[in-house]
Structure formats: C-alpha cells, structure tokens
Structure 1
Amino acid sequence: MGSVRTDNRLTTSQSFLCGGFAGFFSKTVTSPLEVVKIKSQVGTFHCRNGFWESFQVICQHEGLRGFWKGNLVSCLRLFPYTAVHLATYKKIVHLHMDEFGFISQWRAIFAGGLAGVAAGLVTYPLEVAETRLVIQNCTQPTYIGVFHTLSKIYRNEGLLALYRGFSLTVLGAFPFSVGCFAVYVNVDRLWQEPPPRFTPLQNFINGCIAAGVAQTLSYPFETVKRKMQAQSARLPHFGGVDVHFTGMVDCFLQVVRNKGVLSLWNGLTASTIKIVPYFGLLFTCFEMCKQVCLYRNGYIISPLSYQLTPGVDQSLGPYELKEVKRYLKNRNFNSEQSSLGNRW
C-alpha cells in the first residue's frame, strides 16, 4: 500500500542508503511547507493570516533561508528513525507470526504502531530540536545548529524537556494506524482489482491517500505536541506559542476554548499539499538510486534503463550472483589452462 517494496537484488546497506537519500532529498525540497505547518501548529504571528500569507511574512522577516530552518536535523532524524522502526517492526512481526509464517492485518498494523513509538522514543529529542529551530527567528537566533540546540535545552531545562509531549506521539500512533488500516482494506474496492496487481502509479496514489487520511485523524495530537515542544519559560514570548499551558490536557482545553476545535487542525493545508510532492520525490529518488545499485550489482544493462542483463538470474541475491560469476570465471580460467596443457 504505497510503501517502497523490498527488492532482494539490493544489499541491506544499498536499500538503506537509497531510502535515506530519497528521504533527505524529498524533505529538503518540501521544507518550506513543513516550516509553515509547524509555525501554524505552534501559533506564531507568521501564520495568523492564512496559508499563502504565511510564505510572504516568513520571507519578509527572515528571508529565503527561513524556509529551511530545522531541515538538517529533520534529515538527520531519518536514518536512526528508519533503522529503529524497521528493526522493531521485524522483531514484533516475527513474535506474532503463526507456525505457517502468517500474521493478521490488525496485528501487522499494531506492530507498525509500536515500531513507530519505539523509533519516536529514540529520535524524539531531534524532533524537539527541529521545532525549536523552526519557530525561532533566524535573524536573531536563540539556537545555532543541532548540537547547540540539544545541549542548551538539556542544560537550561533538563532532560525531560527533550521528551516534552512524547505521550502525544504514543496517543497519536493509534488513530494514525487506524487511518492506514482503513485505506488498506478498501484500496481493492477503489481499483476493482487485488493489491498484487497494482501499478506503481496506483501504489503512489494509495500512499498519498493513506498518508492524508492517517495524518488528518492524528493531527490534533501532533498540534498539541508541537505546542508543548515549543513552549519554554526561558524563550522570548514562551517560544511564540499562542496559548500558555501547564500540561497536555490543559493545552487541549485552552486551544479549544480560545481558538475553537478547528484550530487543532491549523497547518493541515500545508501538510496536505506537501504529501504529493513529498511522496512523488521519495518514490522517484528511490527508484533512481535503486537503478544505479542494480547496474552496479550487474542486473541491468544501464543505470538509465530497467532492461535486464541477458543471462543474469534475477532471483539470485547480490552476494549469490557474485559467487556464481566468480565460479564461472574460475571454471573458464581452469578450462583454458587445461586446453593449453593438452596442446603441449
């Protein structure tokens, strides 16, 4: 359902690097939309006049570089998040498989939610640092770089400040998983055919729909989480948050009471618009990197084409293929030596 399929012709390191580069590139290109989304969630003055005006206000006050604040830490978070998520997901799925190697859809979705929580626990301080970097004015910065942000938060506010709002990550994982599951069980009705026959375009559309539904359901939790990450008594204007609260429940109540229920979905427009270019660039970059790796492994004739190399068994793994080629090369070399010996 819209996820990048595992290709056994790539090594583990190649798959990891392809996914990492694709995520890095797609996040960097769509960073302006992410900045507008976070500022809208927190409630800074930049986003009080709507979606389009937010770009103009940010550009006027901070210049173009203001649209890429926090992008580096966001990209750095990809690698440990992906590694922990995949490792945890595989472990949980393996524990819940039956003797025939099958697992129910609900258990698979539950495993994905738990893996997301585990990965979020490891990388949550980086998410807090990203929020702080985004909401500050880059012309008069409080934080300079990723490590300076983490060290300053830890030194001034303590370790718990780096995990402020983490409980909302746990709570938001359940509606997010339900949204993904709802799309998953209905995509075959949408296309009138079983999932194994989906084309890459259909998988891309499924991924966009699933992401849109899942993030809409879990968005209020993310909004409150961003407000909790941003608020600090040591920052000017408490970090620019539009409400001052004492905890998670108080934040929910104040937002609803002062701004209305719909304010919990502030920034959803930017987040929704981001889905298509983000997933489009993610899939495109991953496929391009994969083609380069497939060519390097000897499966295709060119990094610009998917035409298969004649005589190469596509079912073999990269290490197996290398061993077969080494065996054939040695066998041909030995046969040439024996033929020369017979001549003499």
Structure 2
Amino acid sequence: MKSTEVADVLKLFLAGGVAGCCAKTMIAPLDRVKILLQAQNEHYRHLSVTSAVTAVVKKEGFLGLYKGNGAMMIRIFPYGAIQFVSFEQYKKITQSWLGQDSHIARLIAGSGAGVTAVLVTYPLDVIRARLAFQVHGEHYSGIIHTFHSIWHQEGKMKGFYRGFIPTFIGMIPYAGIAFYTYETAKRFIVEQGPRFLSKPSPSQPDERVLSTACNLVVGGVAGALAQTISYPLDVARRKMQLGHMLANPHQFGSWLQVLLIVYQRHGFKKGLYRGLSINYLRAIPSVSVSFTVYEFMKQLLNIQSKQKGS
C-alpha cells in the first residue's frame, strides 16, 4: 500500500471516529432510556418513554441520562472508525467484482463493515450496557470494575461476548440496509436529483456532494429502515449482554430462546418491539448525524473519493 493510501486510510479512520462520537453523544440520554426499557428494568419498565426520561432525571439526576456514556465513547470512536474504513475498503473490493453500479456490492460492503466493527468493539458495548442498566451502582462502580467482574465471574472473554450471535445476525441487515440506503439515495440525488439538493464538493469542485440538510434527511431515512428490520435482534442482544443483572439469567441460553421468551411473556409490540419508539428518536438522528459528519470530515480532510457515485 502506497504512503498516500495509508494516509487516506488514517484520515478515514479519524473521520469515522469523529462521526461516531458526535452521533452517539447527541443521543446518549435516549440510548440509556432505551436500554432501561428494552431490558425491563424494575425501576422504569412500567413507564413510557417520556415518563422514563423524567423519572431518570428525578431519581438519578441529569447526569443519570449519560450513565455508561464514558464506556460508549471509548467504544464508539474505534467502532465508527473501523466501520467507515471497512466500508470504503469492502466497497472497493465488491465493486471490482460486481461493478460500480451493483446494488449487491453496496449491500455486502455495508454488512461487512458493520460486522467487522462490532466484532472488534463488542466487549466495550457489553460494559456500557451493564453500566447503563443499573440505577444506583448496585453491581458495578465503573468501567474497570465492570471489566474485572465480567472477566473473573463470567468466563473471561466468553463473558464479554454474551449476546454476540444476535448482534452479529442483526448487524448484517442493519448495517447493510443503512449503508445501502444512504449510498444509493446519495448517488441518485447527486446524479439525477434537483440541483438544490446538492452542491460542489469543497475539496473537488468538479464533483457534487449532498447539501447538509439533504444529508441529514437521507441519513435519517437510512437509520429508520435499518432499525425497524433489525430491532427484535437488538432486544435479544441487550437481554443476553445484561446476563446476571436480570432475574433468572440461566433461561437466556441462546438468542432464539430470548426471542421466544420475550414474545411469550410480553408479545410482539410490548416485547420484541418494546422501546422501538425511543429507538426511532435515537436511531434516526444518530445515523443522520453520523453520515453527515463523516461526509463533512472527508471533505475537510480532502479525502472525498474520486470514484463515480461514491
């Protein structure tokens, strides 16, 4: 790999990491409430989304909405960085096989990027979920203590990959659809859409990029579609991640068991899709900001791809 290519990969890594951090910081309070509702926390499970937000502030203070966010930031920078770098690399490979106009190439590249990122950063997601789920520090006192406890009490590395299978399976449609929808819509708008929806690239004036407002809308639509399809698997992932923090954790032996138990006990709407409304509130702006900041960083760092339609 040439030095210029290495430099571009490092810039993409920075752009992806910054994009991820900006997106997650903005929706951290909603992310925490989503975890509490998804996993049926005893303090909040009877509440609606808006009531839960109010109750968290009342019970734990305003900073309670950001509980576990430190672990999230440690995780999300490499997650965002690896995801976007992987997508750019997988896109080059799949397009060389299937052609630049291939919809399948974009879908495969997006799925591969999501799976790669989650594989590397999953242990930090487990730690973050544990910290976000507790209310008064009943189990863990911080990131290091959580890591130490899981390592020694739950089978070392095995404990850090609880719920990985539904995460892995869910990430395939989630990341695939998110990246595919965004990339396809972006390409269509730039090439065939009204001119006011795009603008000349600051770094490459002969190319056009989406306007900021259009970027936000397209990213939001991509996030909504991806979350709707993969949400039940996200519920299973959270249940398995929380492990010993839940009552009768032994019953959650596999992700299929989790889905079946949740459905039998709580049904479709109040079980498998419990917390979906708040997930829309967090996922749509999160994905929207993530794609928008990433595109902005690519332009700022002068790494806008020269490939057609990218």
TM-score range, shorter chain: 0.7 to 0.9
Higher mean alpha-carbon deviation, 209-218 vs 270-279, is at 270-279
Q: How many percent identity over aligned positions?
A: 31
| 1:325 alignment counterpart | none
Show CA shifts across 1:79-138 (max 9, x none).
Answer: 22234334443443444343897462212211221221121111110011111001112x
How many residues align? The count is 282
Give the aligned partner of residue 205 of structure 1. Answer: 217
Work out whether residues 93 and 108 of structure 1, in 8 Å CA contact, stay in contact via their aligned partners in 2. yes
What residue in structure 2 maps to residue 169 of structure 1?
Answer: 167
Query: Is the CA contact 1:180–1:214 (under 8 Å) kept in the aligned structure 2?
Result: no
Cα distance change on mapping 1:21 and 1:84 into 2, 3 Å: closer
- Deviation, 1:210, is 0.7
CA displacement, residues 134-190 of structure 1 (integer Å, 9 cap, x when unaligned): 1112x334212222212210100112121111111221123322465357656749x
| Structure 1 residues 274 and 151: alpha-carbon distance in aligned structure 2, compared to 1, 3 A threshold | same
Q: 5+ residue gaps in structure 2?
A: 199-207, 305-310
Opposite residue 193 of structure 1, the aligned amino acid is G
- Contact kept, 8 Å, 2:179 with 2:222, in 1: the verdict is yes
CA–CA distance in 1 between the matches of 2:218 and 2:165? 29
2:275 matched to which residue of 1?
267
Aligned to 2:90: 92
Q: Which residue in 2 is equivalent to 1:32?
A: 29
Q: Which amino acid aligns with 1:58?
A: V
Match of 1:120 in 2: 118
Q: What is the Cα deviation at residue 267 of structure 1?
A: 1.5
Once superposed, what is the RMSD of the aligned Cα atoms?
A: 3.6
Structure 1 residue 284: Cα displacement: 7.4
Q: How far, CA to CA, are the matches of 2:296 and 2:278 in structure 1?
A: 27
SS of residue paired to 2:96: coil
Distance 1:279 1:84, change over 3 A: closer
1:250 aligns with 2:249: no
Contact 1:96-1:103 at 8 Å conserved across structures: no
Residue in structure 1 matching 2:40, options 34, 38, 43: 43
Q: Match for 2:167: what amino acid?
A: T
1:310 aligns with none
Instruction: Indicate the SS of the match to 1:142.
Output: coil
Query: Aligned partners of 2:45 and 2:68: how far apart in 1?
Result: 18
Does structure 2 conserve the Cα–Cα contact (< 8 Å) formed by 1:180 and 1:213? no
Q: What is the distance in 1 between the residues matched to 2:298 and 2:87?
A: 23
Matched position secondary structure for 1:175: helix
Aligned counterpart, 2:242: 230
The answer to whether the Cα contact below 8 Å between 1:30 and 1:278 also exists between their aligned partners in 2 is: yes
Aligned match for 1:216, one of 211, 222, 228: 228
- The one-letter code of the counterpart of 2:219 is G
- Match for 1:200: what amino acid? T
| Change beyond 3 A, Cα 1:98–1:59 | closer
Q: Is the 8 A contact 1:36 1:55 kept in 2?
A: yes
Q: Which moved more, 1:47-56 or 1:255-264?
A: 47-56
Do 2:35 and 2:132's aligned partners in 1 also have CA atoms closer than 8 Å? yes
For 1:157, give the aligned amino acid.
E
Provide the C-alpha distance between the structure 1 equivalents of 2:170 and 2:100, rounded to a whole number of angstroms. 27
Aligned AA (1:215): Q
Q: Which AA in structure 1 matches 2:257?
A: D
Change (3 A) 1:30 1:82: closer
- Summarize the Cα distance change of 1:202–1:226 in structure 2 as closer, same or farther, 3 Å threshold: same
Q: What TM-score comes out, normalization by structure 2 length?
A: 0.76
Take 2:107 and 2:38, find their aligned partners in 1: how far apart are those partners? 27
Q: Which runs of 5+ in 1 are unaligned?
A: 1-7, 300-313, 316-344
The residue number in structure 1 matching 2:80 is: 82
Deviation at 1:49, TM superposition (A): 2.0
- Of 55, 58, 68 in structure 2, the residue corresponding to residue 57 of structure 1 is 55
Task: Tell me how far apart the structure 2 counterparts of residues 87 and 18 of structure 1 sit (CA, whole Å).
Answer: 9
Aligned to 1:143, the other structure's residue is in SS state: coil
| 1: CA distance, partners of 2:256 / 2:96 | 40
Report the counterpart of residue 154 of structure 2 in structure 1: 157
CA distance in 1, matches of 2:129, 2:46: 18
Distance 2:32 2:13 in 1: 26
Distance 1:182 1:98 in 2: 20
CA distance in 1, matches of 2:152, 2:107: 38
Change (3 A) 1:22 1:88: closer
Pairs within 5 Å for 1:181-196: 181=180, 185=184, 188=188, 193=193
Matched-pair contact (CA < 8 Å) for 2:223–2:287: no
Q: CA–CA distance in 2 between the matches of 1:117 and 1:104?
A: 20
Structure 1 Cα separation of the partners of residues 13 and 111 of structure 2: 21
